[in-house]
Copies of this chain bind each other. A is one copy, B any other.
Amino acid sequence: MLDEDVKTQARSHTKCASCPVRHRAVCARANSDELTLLDSVKFYKTYQAGQTIALRGDPLEVLSSVVSGTATLSQSMEDGRTQIVGLLLPSDFIGRPGRDTVAHDVTAVTEVTLCCFRRKPFENLLVNMPHVQVRLLEMTLDDLDAARDWMLLLGRKTAREKIASFLLLIAHRSVANAEKTLANEVRIELPLSRETMATYLGLTIETVSRQFTALRKDGLISLDGTRSVFVPDVAALAAEVGDGE
């Protein structure tokens, strides 16, 4: 994990106190003692858009939290078919204490900054950081719920429902810091290209594009450029996802 090509990386330290994900990441409920421990061993690392962060099967030497940017977890078949199995947005955790191999490919889709910990020291510190331990289990359970929700999407939803679900997912996650409820109209900045969305939604790029066009023609969204989506009526879009919420 985390190759050593220094040309494309940057390292630096930032005080946890001023960290943008301080209250949502694995350290969310750490007390000041725990925070001091973490602060002493962490280091930052930045990856450029498109860069591979880790490959399945690599020795797992570094665990990290996403501080800024977007990355994906993906799984591929021999013939190249690929499915994104997780979106990594700021505050998400990468890697598993207790595992010694990377389970899925990790790729930066925008410039990504990670707050990294070497695995062994982190595991050793963990016994002295009960709040971090609990938070880690909690985040893992959240990831599991998210994965299972996505299974319903992949197995049963139509292309239109998939796109609507995705737009609302991004809308929710991007306001997660601020208010928890969505306004009646929202502007969404998509962190993913059409192709990456397709890989996440179990579709092809053409189908994604056609569904964007269809939603636009139906007045459910309007586009400003290709990455900026305006939703004039969130409830109307939510009615397209098919399930209760």
Contacts and interface: CB of A to CB of B under 8 A. Distances in A.
Contact of A150 (B79, B104, B151): B151
Nearest to A150: B151
B134 A75 contact: no
Interface stretch (A4-12, A135-143, A170-178): A135-143
B147 A99 contact: no
A128 interface: no
Contacts of A137: 97-98, 136-137, 140
A200 B133 CA distance: 32
A148 B85 contact: yes
Interface in A142-174: 143-145, 147-152, 154-157
A211 interface: no
A82 interface: yes
Nearest to A81: B156
A109 interface: no
Given A86-B148, A156-B202, A79 B140 contact: no
A145 B102 CA distance: 11
A96 interface: yes
Contacts of A35: none
Contacts of A136: 137
A51 interface: no
Best-buried of A77, A86, A97 by chain B (most CB within 10 Å): A77
A155 B202 contact: yes
Contacts of A83: 151-152, 155-156
Nearest to A201: B155
A73 interface: yes
A189 to B, nearest CB: 25
Contact of A75 (B78, B82, B97, B149): B149
A5 to B, nearest CB: 26
A242 interface: yes
B242 A152 contact: no
A105 to B, nearest CB: 11
